[in-house]
A and B are shown apart, each in its own frame.
Chain A
Amino acid sequence: MTSDLLEFYKNMDAARILFAFKGTISQNMLTQLSVVLKQQAHEEPQMQILFGIFIELSQNVRHYSAEQSVDTQGKPYGVGVVTVSEEGAVYSISSGNAVAPETAERMAQYCQWLNTLDKAALQRLYKQRLLEDPPEGSKGAGVGLIEIARRSDFPLQFHIRDYKNNLKFLILNARVHKTAP
C-alpha cells in the first residue's frame, strides 16, 4: 500500500475530496469531526447544513451497514465510507456501505420517491413521520433520509454496486451549494 499511496492521493485530489473516512463510524469520530466542522460553520452557515447531512448519512452507516465491526467499547457498529468533496460551487456528501440486496432496492425506491417531492411535501412528510413513529422505534433512518432530501439543493443520488458475499454496496449522495442561493 505504501507505494500506492501517491496514486491514492492523486485520485483523492482529482476527486476534490476534502474529507474521507473508511472504517467503523464511531460516535467519537463523529463528535471530533463535529468540532472541526462547527468552527467553520461560524464563518460559513452552509457548513451547518453540510454537517447535518453528514451526521445523518454517517449514523445510517453506523446503524445499518451489513458489514460490522466492534468499537472500543465492544459494541458492534457498521463499517463503511463517508466523504465530503467539492464539485465547483457545490459540496457533495456521500456514504457507502454494504447492505442486503432487498435493502438496496428498497432504499433506491425510497430515494426515488423522495426526489419526486418538493420541499413543502418533504417538510410535511418529515413532521408526519416524527408524529407517527414511536421514539423507541427505529433508530431513525427513514426520517434521516427525509431530512437529507429537504436540506439538499439537488436531488438525492444513489448507486447500487455488486459487492462480496451476495451483498450490495449502497452509495448515497447529497449536494448543497457552498453559499446559500
Chain B
Amino acid sequence: MEALVIPATDNTPLIDFNPETGELWIIGESFPDLAHEFYRPVVEWFQTYVASTRGPIFLKFKFSYFNTSTSKYIINFFSLAEGAVAAGRSIEVEWYYPAHDDNIKQNGIELSDGFNIVFSLKPY
C-alpha cells in the first residue's frame, strides 16, 4: 500500500502515514474550511490499511490546535481503532501535547474517554 503524505498548511496538519512501519502521524494545526474534504480521504486510507494489512499500528496525534469539526474526525479514528482492536488488531494511540498546554492534553483525555483502546499521553 502506498504511503499517505499530505504536507501541512497553515490550517491543516501534516499527514504522514507510513504503511511499512505502521506509524501514522497527524501533526500540526487543524481548522480546515471543510473538515470532511480534508479528513475523509485520510480516514479512508486508514480503513483500507486496517483491512488489508496485519501489523501493529501506531496512531500518533500531535496537534497544536484543532477546531470542533476536526474533533469529529479524531472521534472517528478512535472509533475505527476500537473496532479493529476488538477484531484482534494491535493499535496504540499516542496523544502528544505541548507540556505547557493543558487544553490539548484535556481534549485528548476527554475525546478518548469511553473508547476501548490503548491510549497514552505524551508531553513534549
Contact = CB atoms under 8 A, between A and B. Distances in A.
Chains A and B form a bound pair: yes
Interface in B34-84: 34-36, 39-40, 43, 65, 67-69, 71-73, 75-76
Contact of B39 (A32, A56, A135): A135
Interface in B1-54: 9-11, 29, 31, 33-36, 39-40, 43
Contact of A31 (B10, B43, B67): B10
Contacts of A83: none
A132 B72 CA distance: 10
A35 interface: yes
A60 to B, nearest CB: 10
A127 B33 contact: no
A130 B75 CA distance: 7
A146 B110 CA distance: 14
A131 B75 contact: yes
Contacts of A27: 11, 33
Contacts of B73: 135
B101 A45 contact: yes
Contacts of B10: 31-32, 34-35
Nearest to A123: B110
A127 B40 contact: no
Contacts of B36: 135-136
A52 B110 contact: no
B111 interface: yes
Interface stretch (A105-113, A137-145, A156-164): A137-145
List 3 A-B pairs, minimum CB-CB distance, nearest first: A140-B69, A31-B10, A135-B72
Interface of B: 9-11, 29, 31, 33-36, 39-40, 43, 65, 67-69, 71-73, 75-76, 100-101, 103, 110-111, 113-114
Interface of A: 27, 30-32, 34-35, 38, 45, 48-49, 51-52, 55-56, 59, 62, 123, 126-127, 130-131, 133, 135-136, 139-140, 143-144, 146-147
